[in-house]
Structure formats: C-alpha cells, structure tokens
A and B are shown apart, each in its own frame.
Chain A
Amino acid sequence: MDKVAIIGVAQTKYQRYNPASHAEMAYEVTCKALEDAELTIDDIDNTITVCNDFWDGRTISCMTITEATGSHKVPTTNVEGDGTYGALMGIMRLLSGLHDITLVVAQSKVSEGIPAVITNAMFDPVYERILGLDAINSSALQMRSYMHKYGITEGQCANVSVKNHKNAKANPYAHMPLDITADDVLKSRLLADPIKLLDASPVSDGACAIIMAGEAVARKRCSNPVWIRGVGHCADAYHLGDRDLADVDALISAAGRAYGMAGIQDPVKEIDVAEVYDAFSYMELMWMEGLGFCGRGEGGDMIDSGTTQMDGALPVNPSGGVLSAHPVQVAGLARIAETVLQLRGEAGARQVKGAKVALAHGIEGACGQGHCVFILGR
C-alpha cells in the first residue's frame, strides 16, 4: 500500500471519573494532537470519530463530539468499534487520494454507565442475553476454556497483571499503576471464576486522538513521522458456542494480513514492542499466540520466559496495557498512540530502547470476536 504516517498523537490521563464532559475530553485531545503535530484545525481536511451509542448513552453519539473535534467543518464519519477500526477508516480516507490529513478521535466515559448492562447488550436478545452474560462472565468462559485446552495456569495469567500494572507506573497516562504480586492477584476477589478482580481491567474515562497524513504531506509537515506498515482486521463467528473459545482464528487472520503488508515473517525477531488489548489478564497470553509471538498454547511459557517483560526481547504493553486503563473504544487507539511514542523515542520511563517496529492491537465484541492489528515503523 501507499505510505501513511501518524504525525500527531494525544491522550488524556485515564481515570475513574474524568470531570470533563465527552466533548471537553475530545476537545482536549484534539488540541493536544494538533499541538503535537504542529498543525492547526484548518490543516485537518477530514475526521473520523469513534463513538458507541451504548457506552455514550446516546443515539447518534458522535453528535456529542462533532464540534469539539472540528468535524462540523470537514468530511467526517463515525466508526462504532474499537479505536483501531477508526484509525483504519482514516487510513482508507488518505489512501483514496481524496484527503491529505485525517484526525481520528476516540473518547469514552465508561463510568457514566453500568458496563455489565452495556456489555449484556452484545449478546443475542432472542437467545443468550437473558442469561445475564456480560464482558466479565463471558470472558471467564473463555479463560476457563483456554486454561483447560492448553494447561495454562491462573498463576501465569496473574503474572500478566503483575507485569502490566508495574509497567503502568512508568506511564503518566495510566489509570492503575500498581505494585502487586501474583499472590495478590490470585487472592483478589473472585468475580466470575476463574476471573478475579486483578485479572480484570478497570472502569476508565478518557480520550485519545491521532493525526495521520499521506506520504508527501507527512514528509513535508513532520520531522518524526511514524509509518503505518500494515493493517489487518477480521471477525470470528458470533455465538460463543460457534467458536472454540480457546483459539484465536480471527486474530491469526488479521495479523497475517498486517504482517503480509508489512513484510514481517518472524514477528518476535522483527517487532520491537507490542501494545495489545488485554481487557483481562489471560487475553494477553492468547493474543500473543494469535500474533505468532509463540506457538498455539504457549502463551503461558511466553510470560514465564520473561520475553515480554520490559527488559525482554519483545516487551508487551510497556504502557501498562488495557489492564491499567480501559476506556472502551479509546483503548485500541491508545495502543497505537503508545507505539507512536515508542517509535519516536518519546515514551519516557517506559521507553523500549531502540524500538523501530511496533505492533498495536484492538479487539471488538465478546471474547475477542473481532481483531484489528497495526504494524508501525520508524
């Protein structure tokens, strides 16, 4: 594909209750991203917003942030899904040759609603919805399935939580920097066996924006562009019972497409840092398998080996990941923003030295039914 670069990023600090409104948060990251890119709003010739009518408690939820993002002045569309999908839509606008600079803004106030009620609405209203399924207990079904099929232990999952909350201590945007041990995770309150409180991501408010441009504009306007080398997305079957929940077919397909575009053959060797959507601790292990960082069923060995620690060969979630801040819709776009900081060498205390190629990942729906994978490079 032609080259597209990310030339500006911004995030709010993620927190349980952000007193700013949806629009005020969106305006904050819009302004900061423009500042980061050394652009003004007049340079933006199209926008993508990422809003969800359930999480925002409003039909046509993108109305909430239309003016705050300058979307009323330029062509715009709203992607309802993870922020990675919004970024993908932005890339398509640029690749069409019809637009030069795209602003993508995602915002979320998870603390306004009741996440279990909102995620219950993911499930089919004629069938399983009545069982009280939500993001937590459906993921618990997946975690059990994964542990059973591949002999993964709760302790290995707990170690993901320990790693990511520790990494978050170096990330000023993170919501939940914590010094915890695996034992703390294992002894934390049981939510839905085998998921415990510290296996789960927090309720976070926040926003993230990125600005993208085609190659010619990026080279002219930006001294430190980060290039999008590949992108892929894919969805698995819908009903939980239609899938083998322990496996990650859709992620393998999405990653395959992104790797193909980026020319990546050996992800562990070629990728320097990854930010993945770990809504629950076990997910990071599964996603590493789907991304080909290890073989099927080897996610547990991967965390045991230390490879994904900050000082390992392939640090995963230096930001603290979604376990340390989970503004829904925003979280995937925040993964992209974090990898941009890594590739620019601006990640501060969470910097992975010499990072040249990075992976960012978002999920969609229940138990990672959908995935979107980005490969970025310096």
Chain B
Amino acid sequence: MKNRVGIVGVGQTHHKSRNTDCKGQELIGIAVKRALESAELTMADIDSIVIGNMDHFESINYVDMWSVDGSGGYMKPIMKVTTGGTTGSAVGHAGFYHAASGLFDTVLAIGWEQNSESDTTAAISTCFDPIVEREFCGGAIGPLAAQYTAYMSKYGATEEDAALVSVRDHNNAAQCNPYAHLRQAITVEEVMKSPYISYPMKLLDMCPRSDGACAVIFAVEDKARRITERPAWILGVGDCHILVQVADGIGLANLPSLERAAGEAYKMAGITDPYRQFDVAELYVPASTAGVTWMEALGLCEEGGGPRLIRSGMTNMDGELPINPSGGVLATNPIGATGLIRIGEAALQVMGKAEKKQVEGAKVVVATGFGGCFWSDVTVISASPQLD
C-alpha cells in the first residue's frame, strides 16, 4: 500500500422503521453532519465523496446526483458505488481506495437507505435473473433459509443455535446502542415461538429493514494524524463476488466468498490467527442462521464449529471475541448503509469512541459485508498502523 489510510470520523442516524421526518437527502445530511462533527471538520475539508444505496428501494436513478443537497456534493467530486447488500462495505472500500490512490486526501463515504419507502422483499426480488430466477426467489429470505436447512443436516446445528445469535445481537442493541433500530431485549423462547416466515427461519431470526444513513470519513496518513490522535487504520480490504445465479449458491453449506475475501484482507493486514488477533467483530449477519454458519469462513472456528462457538458464549459482550456489540444487522438494517455501519462501528471500537458498546482495549477489529449473490466484503481495522 502506498498511502496508509485511516478513518477519522463516523456518523449515523438514529435508525428507525420509518423515518417520515426526513426526506432522503435530509436523512443523508444528518449522518454526514454527525461524521463531520465527530472529526471536527467542515464540508470544505472534504475532497471527494462516494455514496451508495440500491436504486429500486427508493426508485431514484442517479442517486449520486440527486443526493448532493444532503451529501454536500455540490461542486465536489462525487461518485456512486452499488453492489447490493455489500453496497455499504463496497462504499467503504471505495472510500479507502479514493484516499489510498493519493488522488484525494479526505474522503466522505456515505451509505443510506429509506427502506420504508417501498416493499423491501419485492424490490430485492428484482435482483434475480428476470428470465430464469425472479419468479420464485422471494427476496433475500428464501436462499438463506434453504442454506440453513442444509447446514443443520450436515453439522447438527439447531434452530436454537440460531436463536442464540438473535438473542445476543438484539440484547447488545438494547443495552448498548442508542442508534439501533430494534432495541428490545429478547429470549431464546421468544425467538423459538415467533412464527415461521420461511422454514427454518422465524420472524425473530430475520433482520428488519430500516430507514437510516451512515457516513464515514477516510483520510490519508498525514491528514489523518492531523485530524485526530486516534485514527482507525485500514489494514486490509478484500472483496469477492463469487456467483451470479442464486441457485448455484444452494448447497454451499458455508460462504466461500467470505473465506476468500477474508483471505485477501488477512494477507494484506498480516492476520494469521483471527480468533486470537481480533478483539471485536462487526459481522454482516442478515439472519441469525448466518451468525452460526459463517464464522468458520472467517477462520474464527473450525468447519462445523459455529454451534460450538455460539453455545460457548464467547461471542457475547463479556466473551473472548464479542461479535456485534452494536446489535448488528439483526437490529438495524438500512440496506445500503448496513455494510458501512459495520466499518464505522469497527472504527469506533479502535478509536475508543464506542461508548456503551465499547469493548475495553479493542485494538484489532474485523468488519464484513454480505449481499449480491452470496458475495462478501471484509475489512480489517486497527488502532495502530500496523500489527504489533
């Protein structure tokens, strides 16, 4: 890497089911202003902007152009990146590359979605091939449900294991995160009693869809050091968009894209023993079932070891490797922002600014994004510019 890049500011809205107080640009504006405030910068300090969401959630074309009233993009370089559920993490990575290229010193990355403006499942279902898949692929739920069916029969995981993930994330959101959308503590019994929406997935296993925005400011090393004493350094990025037909993702008991993206990011960052080296993880877990199955792709446990690790409690706030102190995606999901919130939350941890979510002494954190057709993005963020 020629130019080291650090995160110097993070802002997000108070995520809600339905934010009617804000027109879309205003929602974006709130996150942007909070990010600027957190870094003690003004819009004049921003050299370029990257923004992302998914067009058909709000039915707005050329969002990079439409958003300038809220993004601050007036008479600035701005571009749009969109890759489905990974949009937020892709926006974060694009923000990183903007700065790492040396072309821009201080870069504002924005993810947002006002999911209450449309029927989220229907809008997502238009991501499937119109000729051979769309008719019978019901949004993101169906494929994920099918995947857990296969994992349960192969590794003996249970629906209760998934419920434990749901309880962990919801309770973290309730106790620690004032920005989270769902802030209600729940129990395993409540998850198990909630109605099936797509077997084996129950209502409380699924992420909500939210209205919200997140903004993260990236800066090249010398700028970053001038802006804050504790930047959150980007040590590694990886992304892998593995498939195009959703049917071909079936039978993948796990998530090979996450394994490959993690491999790239870990290599760049020098991560060799992820479970020990990471102090916190902010994972894009769109359904509790994925919280059981995907940890192994990140090297956090052995193959089929997801149920063991979840049952051990080690991923809870007081465990060895807390996962999703923010409450994660199960508590908050403005889709185009969701991946960027993971990066932002990871940065707050190493900057020591995570407040009630703070995991004491967090130095190295992994953030992930998930979306598209079983695609993954991975980001490794650290308190120091290189691993000790």
Contact = CB atoms under 8 A, between A and B. Distances in A.
Whether the complex brings A and B within 8 Å at their CB atoms is answered yes
B62 A81 contact: yes
Nearest to B96: A96
A126 interface: yes
Contacts of A295: none
A254 B69 CA distance: 19
B252 interface: no
A71 B372 CA distance: 13
B83 A124 contact: no
Contact of A75 (B102, B240, B243): B240
Interface residues of A, number: 61
Given A59-B127, A80-B63, A92-B103, 5 more contacts: A60-B127, A64-B244, A94-B101, A97-B100, A122-B65
B75 A92 contact: no
Contact of A89 (B81, B238, B372): B81
B357 interface: no
Interface stretch (B31-39, B52-60, B192-200): B52-60
Contacts of A365: 62, 64-66
Given A77-B94, A78-B81, A79-B81, A59 B54 contact: yes
B153 interface: no
A53 B54 contact: yes
A151 interface: no
21 contacts: A2-B102, A23-B244, A59-B124, A59-B126, A60-B372, A62-B241, A63-B373, A66-B373, A76-B239, A91-B103, A92-B100, A96-B3, A121-B55, A232-B77, A233-B79, A235-B73, A235-B76, A237-B74, A257-B77, A364-B62, A365-B62
Interface residues of B, number: 59
Contact of B79 (A64, A71, A89, A250): A89
A37 interface: no
Contacts of B268: 98
Contacts of A78: 81-83, 90
B79 A58 contact: no
A237 B74 CA distance: 5
B98 interface: yes
A294 interface: no
Given A60-B83, A72-B242, A121-B60, A1 B68 contact: no
Given A75-B240, A238-B69, A59 B56 contact: yes
A72 B243 contact: yes
A92 B64 CA distance: 18
Which are the 5 A-B pairs with shortest beta-carbon distances?
A365-B65, A60-B84, A95-B101, A96-B100, A92-B101
A204 to B, nearest CB: 18
A75 B239 contact: yes
A88 to B, nearest CB: 7
Contacts of B67: 238
Contact of B56 (A53, A62, A88, A234): A53
Contacts of A93: 97, 101
